[in-house]
Amino acid sequence: MSDKFLRIASVQGFSDTWLNAAAPTNLGLCDFVIPSGMIVDLSKSYIAFNTEITHTGAGNFPTGLEPTNTMLKMNGLVNGDHATEVPNVALVRNAHISCDRGQIESIRRVDTLRSSLWNLEHDAEDRKDDMNAFTAPKGVRGTGNQTSLFLDPCVNDVDAEDVQIPDKKSRNISRDVKVPIKDIFGIGEADDWNTSKFGETRIHLETNWKDVKAVPLGGIEDIAVSFDQTNTWGAMDDEAVANTAYASNGLITKYHYDDYLLEFPFFLGQKVLLSATANNGPNPANVSATISKIGYNTGNRSMYVDVTTVAQGWYQNTTGVAVALSNVVMKADNTYVPQIIVNGAEMVLFTKPQMPTADEYNYVTYTTEQDNGNDIASFSRGYVLEPTAQNLFVALCRNGAKLPTTQYKSYRYAIDNEDQTGNRSVVPASPLQYDRLIRCLDMASPTTEWRNAQQRWLQLTPATTAEGDTDAPVNGLANSMYSQECSLICETLQQTPQPKYLDLQIETAKTGGDDTLNEIILYKQHFSSI
- What pLDDT is attached to residue 461? 60
Residues 329, 236 contacting (CB under 8 angstroms)? yes
User: Residue 230 domain-assigned?
Assistant: no
User: Residue 107 domain-assigned?
Assistant: yes
Q: pLDDT (tens digit, 9 = 90+) per residue, 306-341?
A: 999 988 899 999 999 999 999 999 999 999 999 999
- Which residues are within 8 A (CB) of 420 and not within 5 positions of it... i.e. 6 or more apart? 412, 413, 414, 491
Measure the CA–CA gap between 212 and 136, rounded to whole angstroms: 15
Do 192 and 287 lie in one domain? The reply is no
User: Residue 225 domain-assigned?
Assistant: no
- What pLDDT is attached to residue 1? 55
Do 27 and 176 lie in one domain? The reply is yes
Instruction: Give the pLDDT mean for 64-82.
Output: 84
pLDDT for residue 497 is more than 60:
yes
Instruction: Give the pLDDT mean for 52-74.
Output: 93
Tell me, rounded to whole angstroms, the distance of Cα 281 from its chain centroid: 45
Do 10 and 142 lie in one domain? The reply is yes
User: Residue 224 domain-assigned?
Assistant: no
Do 239 and 260 lie in one domain? The reply is yes
Do 254 and 207 lie in one domain? The reply is no
User: Residue 253 domain-assigned?
Assistant: yes
Of 453 and 273, the one with more pLDDT: 273
- What pLDDT is attached to residue 229? 93
Please state, in angstroms and as integers, the Cα–Cα distance from residue 352 to each residue in 34, 104, 403, following that order. Answer: 14, 22, 37
Question: Which of 280, 298, 332 is a domain's end point?
Answer: 332
Do 385 and 494 lie in one domain? The reply is yes
Domain range holding 158?
Answer: 4-217+340-529
User: Residue 228 domain-assigned?
Assistant: no
- What pLDDT is attached to residue 491? 96
Residue (of 170, 124, 372) closest to 271 by Cα position: 170
Of 411 and 376, the one with more pLDDT: 411
Measure the CA–CA gap between 338 and 20, rounded to whole angstroms: 7
User: Residue 524 domain-assigned?
Assistant: yes
- What pLDDT is attached to residue 466? 33
pLDDT for residue 469 is more than 50:
no
- How many structural domains is the chain composed of? 2
Do 354 and 461 lie in one domain? The reply is yes
Do 525 and 475 lie in one domain? The reply is yes
pTM of the entire predicted model: 0.92
- Give 408's strand partners: 508
Q: Work out the mean pLDDT of the chain and round it to a whole number.
A: 90
Measure the CA–CA gap between 270 and 253, rounded to whole angstroms: 16
